[in-house]
Chain A
Amino acid sequence: MHKIYTSINQIVGDVITVEAENIGNTELAEITTRRGTSLAQVIRLDGKKAFLQVFAGSRGISTGDRVRFLGHPMRIATGDMLLGRIFNGSGRPLDNGPDLSENLAEIGGPPVNPVKRIIPNKMIRTGIPMIDVFNSLVESQKLPIFSIAGEPYNELLARIGTQAEVDIIILGGMGLKYDDYLFFRDTLEEHGALSHSIIFMHTAADPVVECLLVPDMSLAVAENFALSGKRVLVLLTDMSNFCDALKEIAITMEQIPSNRGYPGDLYSLLASRYEKAVDFENAGSITILAVTTMPGDDVTHPIPDNTGYITEGQFYFKDGVIEPFGSLSRLKQLVNAKTRDDHRTIMDSMIQLFADYRETLEKQSMGFQMSAWDLKLLKYGKLFEEKMMSLKVNVPLERALDLGWEILHDCFLPEETGIKRSVIDQYWPKKHEN
């Protein structure tokens, strides 16, 4: 049916050029080599020349190999059959289960019409005070975890994943170490979450092109579930590997690099993925949590920088804690008015005082005399770090708020907190008045 071409006349990086006719842009092809078959995708057309990006990499491709065009772009099976399954970056099973071809959906589909979106209004509780109290996670939010190589960010991601109240978890791994992949699989299994999870796993040993497909496949599957009313949480790790794969391909294609070698459209490429996060009216939602490791802890590096402009805030994960400064959930204001009426007050006041504490800490380290106020702040900061910031703490939001009042009460007089009198009257703990 489909014509077979054998005239591969250029192989550069993982991109090959074939002389062919009547080919659609972004169409898929199958290449049969001595090592087996691989999929490839059209990324540029120039007269009779079709440029193909080979998923399995170009190693071992001979100029006489056969290329068969499939007549359609990349598609992925969707639906309940995928639950509990693990796939690689080309969408092939990694778990010895059968290949699936039900309800095929094109990946990288069209964007959602903005007027069909609704204002997010449901909080996702995680049991982590630094998230629930200070930067609430909201359904349909897209939020990266900015971290540094070596930090236990995958553990944090797995913990949020297993504790969050959602229907389906989709994990997209990009360039992960094989042990990280096993860690995720085992953690999901231990918490009994594997049965409602789907994993797309690209490990560091896999061809780089497959890395590019992971977010698109994960999100296409998620979108399908969301349209049928499910609340889906998509976990992506590590988006920096995805960006580096983009850079590699762009440079192979001789595109003019813009900033530190990254392509000029990095922002748009990332946005088209992150913007898949959505809350559908009368249907489900997609929430995206993605790890972005910052090279050299530099937030101005093009990857975290472009990400930060796209996402709705970020969790800044450093030294094993979610840093209150640098972390932000842009959507928290949409949900934290409805939790408890002291939520915002606690959130704002505790952070402002914590900022003062950090300043005092700086002064202390320089050997300055500590005033009475400084001593109060030091006490406060220590309590805050122990009882709120530590990831060991695992309490519901309401308990965390009570905890906040207790800490303030233990350290300060009411007027020192800067909190409005009406709120103080209602919430200031009365137990041992001093």
Chain B
Amino acid sequence: MTELSHGRIMKISGNMVTVSFDTPVMQNEVAFIRHGEERLKSEIIRVRGNLAEMQVYETTTGLKIGEEVEFTGELLSIELGPGMLGQIYDGLQNPLPEIAEQCGFFLQRGVYIKALSDSTEWDFTPLKKPGDRLRAGDKIGFVEEKIFRHYCMVPFALGGQYELVSIENAGKFTVRQAVARIKDQNGKVHPVYLSQTWPVKIPIQAYAERLKPGEPLVTKMRLIDSLFPVALGGTYCIPGPFGAGKTVLQQLISRNAEVDVVIIAACGERAGEIVETLRTFPSIIDPRTNRPLSDRTVIICNTSSMPVAARESSVYTAVTIAEYYRQMGLQVLLLADSTSRWAQAMREMSGRLEEIPGEEAFPAYLESRIASFYERAGAVRLHDGSKGSVTIGGAVSPAGGNFEEPVTQATLKVVGAFHGLSRSRSDARRYPAIDPLISWSKYRSFIEDRQRERGLLLLRKGSDISQMMKVVGEEGTSLEDYIDFLKAEFFDFVYLQQNAFDPVDEATVKERQIYIFDFIYHIIETEFVFGNKDEARHFFQELRQLFRGWNSMAWQSKEFFETEKEIRAFLLGRTKEGGHA
């Protein structure tokens, strides 16, 4: 081990510190500021002459000019291995429950705890034997972690071909014990542990090829799955003004989405929201695995009052963990809430560095950073033929609810689906407040194209008629148009809207969505006979009430079929064939 190089503080401004040095330093190198007993983590973000500017991952209260700084020679990295599922980390991968145990109610600065426990023993089973040819990412054995086989992989950082020299027999090991030794072409031997470290800002690419995202990711939100679907390995964004329900939407998806692992990055948002997730997930049973939801979830939590610099790194920490699980052939969903706070963290730092500001004072590299973050999503085929994916869903909090602002615009360029929330829908309590008239998706829905298009067309027509009615009044609208308007409203109320507080309505499985969409499609295509508008409105009000009750009945239960019969009879009374008097 070489002697660590040192520097001294020359300047302090907010959470940026300028340090003088005389031995070489590296861009993005991690350094520690020594302040009495405390060691404060920081990262070099710019070097000029013999001065390095560093962002400090803590508050800088009390720091003094001339205090010593230790450079570590390492990039900002995290540890990847068994024990992450169910854990709650801060943006630098410090486990928050362990910090709470040590420090109590408050986050004490300068306290860093290892992400993976030194003492937990894992049941290791080898999969390879000495002499086997290996390369980075190959699975050499596994341990059982919660619901999965957690594979032990050849470190991703190793390039070229390797040969397995020795491997331990099945038994108990900690993450600090080597389970195998591998030899490179030059004969150098490397140990392999159950865990490995990886620099967060570099994507993990130990796979054979990237695939085109195709298979739909079922979120059980009807509006999303049926009309604006997301694909496994795809990307989507949810921009919306405050109060439009972004967070509730993200929470519902984190709960109901049909994926193997969910990584939640609470980035610069309210602490209260993440508390709900971390307090309720251990007691909600995931129907897919019959285990608590927390068993498939990793939470990265850097809320708005936690240090800003760590907020910037939290999204990278999250996506790196997602990529790690993808390497095991799992389907991973990363929910980042909110990417705007991450962009703002970049803006704060850029301001302190006195860089020339771009639009709304965001740095000029905003777009490329956002693009390269979303590009880390993707479906891949691994070397052993299995497939994995990382899907990224980012909430965006546009200033003033205006989608023209730089973060939303930069995001829209790189995502595959756009779920735009609107204030008018949320004001009218139409949840989820995703506006079907502005949203889009480039992925394929499991609803038949013909039916999906018809639904969208009806919504557009309904909106046009409603706009027109504001000008010409109800009396100036033909009965035919008025019925179309009522149909669109009906479709919106009973299908697009979903009651997040109803245990059944909250999540609709794929089969039910297909079934109900088809049912509604036929209602949309039916010609009804009404004497006047009041009669028509009353009919649809009653139909809506029946349907709402139907929505909260368990799929294919007895009541479900009974209500279906009732609705069919009710409909028949009004159709031409039904011969209503």
Contacts and interface: CB of A to CB of B under 8 A. Distances in A.
A24 B272 CA distance: 33
B357 A256 contact: yes
B243 A313 contact: yes
A310 B304 contact: yes
Given A45-B12, A371-B534, A114 B360 contact: no
Contacts of B541: 415-416, 418
A255 interface: yes
B278 to A, nearest CB: 7
A115 B344 contact: no
B101 to A, nearest CB: 10
B64 A113 contact: no
Interface in A295-344: 299-302, 305-306, 308-310, 312-314, 325-326, 328, 330-331, 333, 337, 344
Interface stretch (A94-102, A183-191, A229-237, A257-265): A257-265
A114 B64 contact: no
Contacts of A420: 545, 548-549, 552
Interface string B1-40: 0000000001111100000000000000000000000000
Contact of B12 (A25, A73, A263, A272): A25
Contacts of B278: 114-115
B275 A308 contact: no
Interface residues of A, number: 82
Interface in A380-417: 415-416
B100 interface: yes
A258 B545 contact: no
A114 B273 CA distance: 10
B62 A73 contact: yes
B397 A309 contact: yes
Nearest to B105: A116
A115 B104 CA distance: 10
B428 interface: yes
B270 A312 contact: yes
Interface stretch (B376-384, B399-407, B411-419, B516-524): B399-407
Contacts of B270: 275, 310, 312
A302 B402 CA distance: 12
Contacts of B209: none
Interface string A25-40: 1110000000000000
B65 A114 contact: no
B301 interface: yes
A421 interface: yes
Given A22-B66, A73-B61, 17 more contacts: A44-B14, A47-B65, A112-B106, A113-B104, A117-B271, A117-B275, A227-B105, A264-B361, A267-B341, A268-B268, A268-B308, A268-B348, A275-B305, A308-B242, A314-B243, A373-B537, A420-B549
Nearest to B98: A115
A171 B501 CA distance: 36
B372 interface: no
A355 B427 contact: yes
Q: Which 3 A-B pairs have the closest CB atoms?
A: A300-B400, A368-B473, A271-B304
B256 to A, nearest CB: 17
A215 B11 CA distance: 28
Contacts of A352: 428-429
Nearest to B348: A265
A331 B248 CA distance: 11
A258 B272 contact: no
B99 A113 contact: yes
B545 A113 contact: no
Given A119-B279, A363-B474, A372-B534, A113 B106 contact: yes
A257 B354 CA distance: 11
A273 to B, nearest CB: 8
A363 B470 contact: yes
Interface in B60-103: 60-66, 88, 96-97, 99-100, 103
14 contacts: A24-B64, A27-B62, A111-B271, A113-B106, A114-B96, A115-B96, A258-B362, A259-B361, A265-B344, A268-B304, A272-B305, A305-B401, A314-B243, A418-B541
Interface of A: 21-27, 44-48, 73, 109-120, 140, 227, 255-259, 263-265, 267-268, 271-272, 275-276, 280, 299-302, 305-306, 308-310, 312-314, 325-326, 328, 330-331, 333, 337, 344, 348, 351-352, 355, 362-363, 366, 368-369, 371-374, 415-416, 418-422
Interface in B320-365: 341, 344, 347-348, 351, 354, 357, 360-362
A279 to B, nearest CB: 9
A13 B64 CA distance: 25
Nearest to A106: B61
B304 A110 contact: no
Contacts of A374: 474
Interface string B222-235: 00000000000000
Contact of B544 (A21, A276, A418): A418
B473 A114 contact: no
A41 to B, nearest CB: 11
A267 B304 contact: yes
Given A119-B275, A265-B348, A333 B470 contact: no
A221 B241 CA distance: 33
A201 B113 CA distance: 42
B104 A116 contact: yes
A325 B243 CA distance: 11
Given A256-B357, A352-B428, A47 B473 contact: no
A312 B394 CA distance: 20
Interface in B112-144: none
Contacts of A299: 400
Contacts of B242: 305, 308-309
